[in-house]
Structure 1
């Protein structure tokens, strides 16, 4: 559509304006070229399948075998070393128990002999009688025991040695009397059946 103006050529209206090639169209409803739309996913694509049934083995990758032999032999070597150390430690522990037991026995025996000689030296005859074994107490009453020791020379000093090993445990002693005499004697010991304590069971 054109409109004629006075004294001039006809002017095109807005509806008759030509649109350059490749330029977007003016006006309502004009749409340029649209980008291509992605194709819809195929049926079942991207959807996890059903879980495997009972007894199915998952497809795990096989473990690497490189270095396995080295680790096995290393483990065996460490185990053998540990066993050797344990055996050696067990032997040392056994020796330690034997030594500790011997020392404990010697100490107990020496304590009993020392208590007996000290009681005799201090004229505590009842206390000394209580340290005798059952056999010696059956052989002599407390009164007889006290009367016999009262007639013997007084003890001034004494020395207690180390006990011998079981079964016949004896303790060597050196006793010095007020008369100046000095005797080396063996104190025989026996263990009480109920308490396990050592008791004086004769002096030779």
Structure 2
């Protein structure tokens, strides 16, 4: 077969357009389950947020409780040491547990004269510290048989950070 001059050759003819059943050049985005995946993702993200916040909240509550117990323990140790020293007649040790302001108000001799003239403490029970005021209630029993409820004011030593007895109100 001969081709006429200027006639297109069979290889120069463009291919026919694609018809049904032809695969597209790119994958179509899935449309099934799109809402289910979105809600599952939001649920997982929400659960992660709750777990993180819950763990942080639990840690914060634990820290507050531990701190309060630590303050109570320190306060009860100092107040107990003060009352033990007074009940044993060891006034110098009791004087050492006073805060700087209380020690400036009276000398060791004045303190000894004041506390030795009062009734001797035979037993005591120290309560929990009130945080903002740093006061501790204590129920004391005297050798005379009397009982009293005292409010002990505490202060923190600037050098050591430990509590000191700064005042007693009855």
Which category describes the TM-score, using the shorter chain as reference length? 0.7 to 0.9
State which drifts further: 115-124 or 145-154: 145-154
CA distance in 1, matches of 2:27, 2:106: 87
1:97 and 2:47 correspond:
no
State which drifts further: 70-79 or 171-180: 70-79
- Displacement after TM superposition at 1:80 (Å): 2.8
Cα-Cα RMSD: 2.2
CA distance in 2, matches of 1:63, 1:196: 70
TM-score (norm 2): 0.73
Paired position in structure 2 for 1:157: 123
| CA displacement, residues 146-187 of structure 1 (integer Å, 9 cap, x when unaligned) | 122221221111111111122x11111111111112111111
Paired position in structure 1 for 2:139: 174
CA distance in 2, matches of 1:111, 1:125: 17
1:77 and 2:43 correspond:
yes
CA distance in 2, matches of 1:148, 1:104: 32
> Are residues 142 and 81 of structure 1, via their aligned partners in 2, closer, same or farther at CA, if it must alter by over 3 Å?
same
Of structures 1 and 2, the one scoring higher in RCO (CA 8 A, sep 6+) is 2
| CA displacement, residues 21-77 of structure 1 (integer Å, 9 cap, x when unaligned) | xxxxxxxxxxxxxxxxxxxxxxxxxxxxxxxxxxxxxxxxx9997799676764553
Where does structure 1 lack aligned partners over 5 or more consecutive residues? 1-61
Q: How does 1:40-59 map to 2 (within 5 A)?
A: none
CA distance in 1, matches of 2:63, 2:47: 24
CA distance in 2, matches of 1:132, 1:105: 18
- Displacement after TM superposition at 1:98 (Å): 1.3
> Are residues 101 and 64 of structure 1, via their aligned partners in 2, closer, same or farther at CA, if it must alter by over 3 Å?
farther
Where does structure 2 lack aligned partners over 5 or more consecutive residues? 1-25
- The number of equivalent residue pairs is 142
- Displacement after TM superposition at 1:105 (Å): 1.0
CA distance in 1, matches of 2:94, 2:65: 30
- Displacement after TM superposition at 1:194 (Å): 2.1
3-state SS of paired residue (1:195): coil
1:203 and 2:151 correspond:
no
